[in-house]
Every structure is written in C-alpha cells, then in structure tokens.
Structure 1
C-alpha cells in the first residue's frame, strides 16, 4: 500500500501477541487479547522529541580504515551523516562499538554493552542513552544521506507502529536507517541482544513496522565505491 508521501506501509506481528489493523480514520491495536481504539496517525515528531544515532562501531575491514573518517567532497562520512540526522533531532549520539573513538562532530559517544554485537549492540546503546520518545538512526557508511531523504521517515507515523524503516531504491530494507519508538523497542532489542539474535532484519520482523521508500541510500564499503 502506498500513501501520499510515497511510502509503503507494512505491518508485522510484534512480540507479546500484539497486533494492529488500520482503517482510514482509526486503527485497532490489541495486546494480550485486550483491544483499544486509537487514532490512526500520530503527529510528526517534533525536533525536540527526536534523538539521532550514528552507528559507527564497525571494523571497516573492507574499507581498510575507519570509514567514519573517510571523506566525500572533503567532508568526513560521520560529519555528513551527523548533518542529516541533526536537522531532525535535538541531539545526536554516536555508537562507536565497545571502545570510544573521537570524531569531529558534536555528538555524545555511547558504547556497546555487548562486544561483537554489531549494529544491534549500537542500537541498544543508543536506546539506553536516549532521553526522547523517538530515536532516528543511520549507519555511518551512508555519506550520500541527506536531510530531505530522511523527511518521509518521520512523517505520518501510525500510532501502533514501533519502527519506520527505510527501503532502498532496489526495494530492499535498510534497517540501520530507521525511526524507533523508544518506549516499545528497547526491551525487545535488549532481549534479542542477550539471546545472540543480532540481525536487525530479525528485530524489525518482531515489531510493528512501517516501510518507507528513501532515495539515495548507498552503503560505501570500499574506497572504490565513492
């Protein structure tokens, strides 16, 4: 289903028996057999209600050096992603893995509680530090990400949705680029991390999700891809 913003809505069953159905005016959400009526849309999160998270804890083995400090048109990847996120967020966090790294951006460093936990561990660290209702994330290796590209992700969020996740131009889900509802996602992330279920795709499958087409998403894994 495609709405006026060009996004494709998708609902998946969340943990705990949670389900949701929608109509033009209202949606019905149910948890453990109890049904409640809610409005079908929540207002677009305000700048003050959103924290940004840069996922920068990878080893950059294929790139050969820390991708966060690689440059495009003279600007480090981490600074380009920071600029895209900070336009929509009151503050920005950067998850650097289990050890701190210094980057040339105005962002608080958060550390993974679980070594070798991949992006899920970075997301867990960001959620634990987040003081706002929403967390918008991006991997650091997306230097072509723009302020405008993220706009549809934060627009027209159904009330029952836990995450709005980006779809790349090829239709594939890009779960590092997402808007997460902190109140409902944090526990699920922590449980999956403790169980060693590290795939972000698997996490999204366990949540009520909305998929949003985002143009220009291009991971840079090697210098030759710039």
Structure 2
C-alpha cells in the first residue's frame, strides 16, 4: 500500500480506538465499578466484603469454569473475561478496577512498576496461570463489533453461533493446555481442575469431530444425488 493510504488507515484506526475508549470502554468500566461497589439491595459494599457485590454474584458461577485455566475460582477474572466480550480492552480495565492494581502502574510512563510477580501476587495466581488466562482471552470471541461483522459476512445465525462456539472452545483448550503443561513443567505436578478441564476439552473435540463427519456425510449424499 502507498504511504498516504497507510497513514490514512492508521489515523482512522486511531480515531476508532479513541472513540471506543471514550464510550464503550468507559461505560463498561463505570458499570463494573458500580456493580462492585453495591450489593443487590443497593447498599454500599464494605471493604473486604467485595464477594457480596452484584458483580461477584453475577460472575461467580462462571469462575468455576476457569479453574482448569487459572487454578482458582476467582470471580474477578471471570468478570474480566465476560466484559472482554464487549471489547478486549475491558479485560485489563476490569482487572485494574476489581483488584485496584493501579498502584502498580506508572501513570506518567504508562508502564508496569515492579515485576509480573507483583501483579500475579495481587491477583492470587501464578505466572503460568496469568499466561494461560492471557491465551484464553486471546482466542475467545474478540468483541461485539467483530461478531457483528461476522454476522453480516456469514449471513447465517447457525454459522455465527458455530464460529462463536469454535472460538470459545479454542480459547478454553489453549488456556487449559498452557496452564496444565506449564504447571507440570514448573512444579512437577498437574494444575488444579485437570480432570474437569480435560473432560471439557474432550467434549469440545468430540463435538467438532461429529460436526465435521456429519457435514462430510451430507456433502457425499448431495454429490451422489447430483451424479445419479
């Protein structure tokens, strides 16, 4: 591409991100802050009682699903993953909000103060779990805007939900493998939630294999009908 086209594209993408940061991300982080600050009776949550907040009760059930990936049932990480479906930038924003780790970031240099161990200690997970969580969010559905683009391109709800399911399965499988293998290498033993995670991964593989075989069978039948 030409230099002018590249610069124009860069400016358009930069503008789009600034607009997103000032609207979607800001609104999402504000909602997360409110949900963390109040319980279902709309009473302010006292310090140390964050587990009784609206956010904790909503994200709590999903936290169990992340045990094979991060080793703990942390509703904070589940909440961050859920908000990541709106925009991936929300994952970082939600984690910073629920764990209050802004003191580990230099606001002037916009860089991490200390090491990754400091952040992992605050969150309560290992560095391997942090990497696995990162990989999980990397491969799951990107954002609502991308899903909208997928829907317009595929023009089929069936294919759209299939693509979303495949992305979720891929993210979960990659996160599971990274955490379990990494934990085995570092500690010499498998990580927490291995059996449950393995069952989920095998179920994903079985469903995908069934869909592939079924589609091939349908294509073969259609081919026979056309050639007969």
- TM-score normalised according to structure 1 size: 0.28
| Structure with a larger share of its residues in strand | 1
Greater Cα radius of gyration, structure 1 or 2: 2
- TM-score normalised according to structure 2 size: 0.28
| Structure with a larger share of its residues in helix | 2
